[in-house]
Amino acid sequence: MFSSDLISSSESYSSKRWKGANCDEPICDSKCRKCYSPNQCALCDGNYSGDRCDSCTSGWTGSDCNTPVCDSKCTTCDSPNQCSVCKGNFEGSDCSTCKSGWSESDCNTPVCDLKCKQCDSPNQCSSCNGNFAGSDCSSCKSGWTGSLCDIPICDSKCTNCSAPSKCSKCQGNFQGFECDSCTDGWKGTDCDQPICDSKCSVCDSPNQCRVCNGNFEGSDCSICTTGWKGANCVVPICDSKCTTCDSPNQCSVCQGNYKGAQCDNCQDGWTGTDCNKPICDSKCTTCDSPAKCSKCQGNFQGSDCSSCKSGWKGANCDEPICDSKCSECSAPNQCSTCSDNYDGNDCSGCKSGYSGTNCSLSICYGLTNQDANVCSGHGSCVLPSVCKCNSKWFGDNCELTSCYGIMKNDTGVCSKQGSCIGPDVCSCKTGYKSSADCSVVSCENLNSCSSHGSCVGPNSCTCSAGWKSSGDCSSPSCELVSNCNARGSCSGPNVCTCSGGFFGKKCELATCFGVAGDLNTGCSGNGECFTTDTCSCNAGYYGARCDFKVNLEATKKVTNFKQFFIEPTVYNPSGLSIGYKWSQVGGPSINLESISENTISNPKLVIRSENGLTKGQSYTLLLTTTRSDNVIITNSIVLNVNIDPVIDWFSTVNPSTGQSVGIAGVTSFNASIASATDPDGDSDSLQYSFGYIVDGKRFVSKEFSYSTSTIFRLPLPSNNLAEVFYIAKDDMGATTEVQSVVVVNNPSSSMNSSQIAKLVDSMLEKPSIDQLYFATSLIKSSSDSESSIVKNKIIDALYNQTESNPELAVAILSELSNKTLDNSHGSKALRMLEILSNISDSYETILQTSSKLISYTQSTSENRQVMNAILENISSSLAKNMATGSIIKTISNNLLNIIIKNNVDLLNITLPSSIGVNGLTIPTSNLKNVVSNHTIAFSITILPSSSLSFLSIPVSSSVYKIKLFWDSGVMINITKLNTPFEFEMTVVGTSSGVEPECRYFDERTNTLTKDGVETIVISPTRVKCRVYQLGDFTTTLISKATSSPAPEKSKVQPKISQRANTASTTSQFSFMMMLLFVIVVVFML
């Protein structure tokens, strides 16, 4: 009964839920898309679920199952696990991660910077580590400096300090921990003022006096200066001639006839060594005392010799008193010179030529001056035989006449233009006026210059302005108006009558292009309007209106190794189109088109750097410039190709031996250029540079300067041979380089390893980067124990010089990385490599060196970040510079880096298995939707698992870093790809109880996450990872028994076909259950 009722009931219900001709098609519920029997849905619509689609799938709610259930961390969500607004500091599509700077399960714990001990929020530190300070601990506490704020800032008074305000060695005369007091004997703000002794007023240092007080002297002012005595040096020592003195050399009472402050002079009237001899008056021969004479000198007389003897006078009584006829006598009554015209010993007669009672009459040629006929009656006798002639009379006896003050027989009489025929009566030559002295010229024969000029010579006229200078000045002249420019006639003095079409004072003007010639604009200001609409252009200007000019330098010195250009200047205000054409017209033949760049519309000619021009040759180029109005201008330029300088004599020697042999790091070699010339320039302007090549590395010891020599030490070459190079550069930048070989011996041949270590250590006082390389090369000979300190010093010294010579810095770090560095200096070396990865082209060496360092340097989050920056910098540079379609691979002992550059469509190529990356699939179609078909670079780097050993969760495989870059080198950040990247990874450390799982390394939180990652286990030691974002990926081992399912978004999302298979399986199961039910019923019946 039970079975019959069930079957009946089933048939009754089923008859309402089937359709079709054979009633074998189930009628699906409205919420069901596909069913295999009534009320047994295989595929529900929307977000419904269940056999009858009467419930919502996980994560959905509401009457129509269309309302997403948001996670507790999410404020607003668009779908389950797809949050649009997260709570608090959560972020991500499912709010499963913390915002940058936050951590822990509630994302409420700020992530402090390494410099920060405690922080309230990211970048807001409340307590800094060490000596860091500031809200973000980016600065140092007061008194500290350095990248790690571990270098104390010493006070200005301190030479060396172990901490701020704790000085171990003070400067100058300071003392104390804070150098705040002065050492004994010093004072002042700067402790630079010595404390002087009481006897000293100025001292240079304690007990070293420069100026003593009072009468003390000596370096310690302990003795009296000369002339003083007594305990306080205040008692003067008097001179022997002094009775009483106030100070040395200052006497108040002298002995005997002495006087003066020092009793070193005699009193007035006394002389002699002892001042006991009286000084006689000058008039006195002998005296008993001053002013008491016993015998007078000469003609003096009296007790004081103050009067003259009879017949004598004068201050010295040495002037005799003469007779009245005597003007000068040698003694009384003894005349030597008579007065007036007297003569004789007693002056009783007249001198020759004089007569009369008083000898007052002069005689001229036998007649006294009172005779009327004296001096031929034409003058007066003024002295014996000396006549003063009347006007116009001459001769000793005034017997000769003259014309106008010139003797008749003088060649200059009558102005040399006539003869003197009587007193002031001249007979003049032709061309001179006959009146007066013939000094006035005459132009009577030329009509007196026609009243239009001046008579300037005998019958010679100088015409006035406007009259012709030839002849008698009777014709007008137009010379001052350019003779009317041959465009008119001279109608008056400088007055033109212009021909038709011309005007102006000089007939110089015409009209050009509607502009009067005097405005100077019809010819563009570059010429003159010559005739109507015809310009006469200034030099260099062309065109009907003088409005076209091309300027080009005549010569140019150039080189054949660097680009240069020739750029004429063109004047063309008309705006008419211009065409330019360059050609060669002189010098060795060249293919100008193949070595230059120019266009017909641009006059600039660019000659490429490698132009094939021959040094020392000259090439003449012609520029033909054609304007659209058929005006053509040609200009030429001569190119003189520079000749390289010549180095004639050079050498590098060991100064102590004169040989090119020395010891690495010890010998200071002297490199010099003894002779160099510039064949086509000034040899004095040459500059020189020096350097050397060791083991293929090139070092510049001295940059270009005018110095012809330099001194340097050489590092140790592997083959003991170094090449020294010498370079000369001229003013055009052309260089010549020559080289010589120097033998550099290993210092170990004469030094033990300890001595070498000390030598290297001495080189690190204030080293240049070259010296650091020397030091690095020398410690090859030292054992690790002896060189470890030196290696650390080299790293420390190199830290601030990395950018001065990037390639050399890479070489130093590469060499040092071969020797194990401690963790601190290994990390510092990595940081330097990060800087170098931005500025050096030695990408492979940087990668290999970084790989060595991370193999033994402690794994830390900071070191991983630095290594990540190195890889991204190098990949970015390679992406920008490598050729499209190429692959670059770098392999080190524990690092593999591959970068491929191509169009997106061509990226998904099969990589050779030898590169170490298996099963790699690039989602090119999905990428193309994001970046179009641009050229991009795909980079994959495989790092050792130890690079993430700082994590709390151990990793079980290598670390794969996947990045994309534009061809410009800019990194592309892509997340949430629809189609994943795929690659296979080898897993280690597996066992029966664990299984591998792919993980994404989140740089923000330094954690491993399953976000955007799917795992397909191929075998216990092999997995395939599918990743929907770019970044770092690895694997970790999880327990099979306790492993929790990954979040929904990290599960492999089944395709539609997979869902159909799932539905088919469910349908088959339902059919089998129904068949079993029927069999049971039948069996029971």
CA distances from 962 to 177, 897, 920, 1010 (A): 57, 10, 11, 16
Per residue in 872-920, pLDDT (tens digit) is 999 999 988 888 888 888 887 778 888 998 888 787 655 555 555 678 8
With 90 as the cut, is the pLDDT of residue 693 above it? Answer: yes
3-state helix, strand, coil in the chain (%, to 5): 20, 40, 45
Which tokens is 237 given?
Answer: 């020592």
Q: Would the pLDDT of 935 be above 50?
A: yes
Average pLDDT over the chain, rounded to an integer: 82
For residues 713-740, give the mean pLDDT. Answer: 92
Distances (CA, A) of 15 to 8, 18, 148, 756, 1070: 10, 6, 85, 104, 19
Domains along the sequence of the chain with CATH: 2-68+1062-1084 (no CATH), 154-193 (2.10.25), 196-229 (no CATH), 238-271 (no CATH), 280-319 (no CATH), 322-359 (no CATH), 367-398 (no CATH), 401-440 (2.10.25), 548-641 (2.60.40.10), 643-745 (2.60.40.10), 859-1042 (2.60.220.50)
**177-191, 632-646, 1007-1021, range with the lowest pLDDT:** 177-191
pLDDT of residue 9: 33
The amino acid sitting at 1036 is T
- 361 Cβ contact partners less than 8 Å away, ≥ 6 residues apart: 354, 355, 368, 369, 370
- pLDDT at residue 452 tops 90: no
Cα–Cα distance measured from residue 544 to residue 285, given in angstroms and rounded to the nearest whole number: 115
Residue 1025 has pLDDT above 50, yes or no: yes
Find the length of the chain: 1085
3-state SS of 885-904 is CCEEEEECCCCEEEEEEEEH
Closest CA to 983 of 930, 1043, 938, 1039: 938
pLDDT tens per residue across span 847-857? 989 988 888 88
The predicted structure's pLDDT at residue 1035: 93
Tokens representing 979 are: 């189609």
Q: Which tokens go with 756?
A: 């070498």
Buried b (16+ CB within 10 A) or exposed e, 95-117: bbbbbebbbeeebeebbbbebbe
User: Using 50, 70 and 90 to split pLDDT, how confident is the model at 572?
Assistant: very high
Read off the pLDDT band of 305 (50, 70, 90): confident
Residue 685 CA, distance from chain mean position: 21
Could you write out the DSSP letters of every residue in 610-631?
S--PPTT-EEEEEEEEEETTS-
Is pLDDT of 1058 > 50?
no
d(CA 317, CA 302): 13
Q: Which among 886, 890, 897, 901 is positioned nearest to 965, based on CA atoms?
A: 901
Average pLDDT over residues 795-813: 86
**Burial (Cβ within 10 Å: 0-12, 13-18, ≥19) of residue 627:** buried
In this prediction, residue 705 carries a pLDDT of: 94
Does the structure show a pLDDT above 70 at 123?
yes
What is the model's pLDDT at position 1020?
85
- CA-based radius of gyration for the chain: 62
Q: What is the mean pLDDT of residues 918-933?
A: 82
Phi, psi at 217, each rounded to 5°: -155, 175
pLDDT digits (tens, 9 = 90+) for 648-664: 999 999 999 999 999 88
819-873 pLDDT, tens digit per residue, is 778 888 889 999 999 999 999 888 889 998 998 888 888 888 888 899 999 999 9
Pairing of strands 307-308, 312-313: unpaired
Residues above pLDDT 90, as percent of the chain? 20
pLDDT in tens, 397-430: 887 888 887 887 888 888 888 888 778 888 888 7
Q: What is the bridge-based pairing of β-strands 735-745 and 661-663?
A: parallel
pLDDT tens-place string over residues 27-50: 888 788 777 677 778 678 878 887
51 C-beta neighbours (distance < 10 Å), count: 17
**pLDDT tens-digit map of 757-766:** 777 777 777 7
Q: What is the pLDDT of residue 640?
A: 93
Arithmetic mean of pLDDT, 435-457:
79
Percentage of residues in the chain having pLDDT higher than 70: 91
Among the residue ranges 291-295, 307-311, 1046-1050, the one predicted with the least confidence is 1046-1050
Say what the pLDDT of residue 787 is.
67
Asked if 1030 and 973 touch (Cβ cutoff 8 Å), the reply is yes
Burial class (CB in 10 A: 0-12, 13-18, 19+), 282: exposed
Token pair listed for 118: 């405690």
Answer whether residue 1044 shows pLDDT above 50: no
Q: Which string of DSSP letters, residue by residue, matches 860-873?
A: -HHHHHHHHHHHHH
Burial 212-248 (b: 16+ CB within 10 A, else e): beebbbeeebeebeebbeeeebeebebbebbeebebb
pTM value is 0.42
Helix and strand numbers, DSSP H then E, in the chain: 11, 94
Q: What is the DSSP string of 1004-1017?
A: TTTEEE-TTEEEEE
Distances (CA, A) of 1003 to 1009, 1032, 1074: 10, 9, 55
Report whether pLDDT(568) > 50.
yes
Alpha carbons 932 and 6: distance in angstroms, whole number = 64
Output phi, psi for 1056, to 5 deg.
-60, -40
